């Protein structure tokens, strides 16, 4: 019985200590001493897409445990120059939903987004087909346009994502 009591005490102490990746723990950006409610979504946290993708390939991991939304992105690099790594994203409706952590320019090892985030569609296949996500602007050569495959007015009232729903 004393052994079980020790295990319970250790588990209780561990739970009380919290976890640094707790999705309810607000993050602060390097240039701000105040936390925002939106940053609790983890947007901009470094994560692993579990794939080796080049500049011309967009990939995602929709089971990324390090992301509160479970969505880790590495978008297609439309600029050919982005040195930004994969990051946690989240579904969104507008750009204001996409406040997130950005790069600490004084840290050469920091590969987080430099230019901020925008809300838009990045994928036209897979489980994230036609879903609006927070996308780092470092990867964009211009405004993020909704793909024609995701526009119901161009697709007889539907989208190309019916098979993924």
Predicted TM-score (pTM) of this structure: 0.73
Q: What percent of the chain has pLDDT over 90?
A: 48
Mean pLDDT of the 103-124 span? 94
What are the two backbone dihedrals, phi and then psi, of residue 140, each rounded to the nearest 5 degrees? Answer: -100, 135
pLDDT tier at 144 (50, 70, 90 boundaries)?
A: confident
The pLDDT value recorded for residue 156 is 67
Mean pLDDT of the 96-111 span? 94
The residue among 82, 104, 85, 83 whose CA lies nearest residue 29 is 104
Give CA separation, 115 vs 33, 53, 112, 143, in Å. Answer: 19, 21, 10, 13
The pLDDT value recorded for residue 46 is 95
The pLDDT value recorded for residue 151 is 82
Give CA separation, 125 vs 69, 131, 145, 155, in Å. Answer: 19, 10, 16, 15
Q: Token match 């950005």: residue?
A: 102
User: Residues 36-84: pLDDT tens digits?
Assistant: 444 578 999 999 999 887 778 899 999 999 999 999 999 988 888 889 9
Residue 108 has pLDDT above 90, yes or no: yes
Token digits of residue 46? 């470094």
Strands (E), the chain: 59-61, 71-74, 87-89, 117-121, 132-136
The pLDDT value recorded for residue 40 is 72
Looking at every residue in the chain, the average pLDDT score rounds to 78
């Amino acid at each position: 019985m004393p052994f079980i009591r020790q295990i319970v005490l250790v588990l209780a102490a561990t739970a009380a200590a919290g976890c640094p990746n707790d999705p309810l723990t607000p993050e602060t950006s390097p240039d701000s001493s105040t936390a925002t409610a939106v940053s609790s979504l983890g947007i901009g946290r470094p994560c692993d897409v579990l794939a080796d993708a080049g500049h011309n390939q967009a990939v995602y991991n929709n089971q990324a445990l390090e992301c509160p939304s479970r969505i880790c992105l590495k978008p297609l690099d439309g600029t050919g120059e982005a040195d930004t790594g994969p990051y946690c994203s989240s579904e969104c409706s507008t750009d204001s939903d996409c406040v997130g952590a950005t790069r600490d320019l004084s840290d050469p090892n920091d590969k987080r987004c430099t230019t901020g985030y925008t809300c838009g569609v990045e994928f036209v296949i897979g489980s994230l087909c036609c879903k609006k996500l927070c996308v780092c602007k470092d990867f964009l050569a211009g405004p993020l346009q909704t793909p024609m495959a995701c526009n119901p007015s161009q697709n007889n009232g539907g989208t190309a994502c019916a098979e993924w729903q």
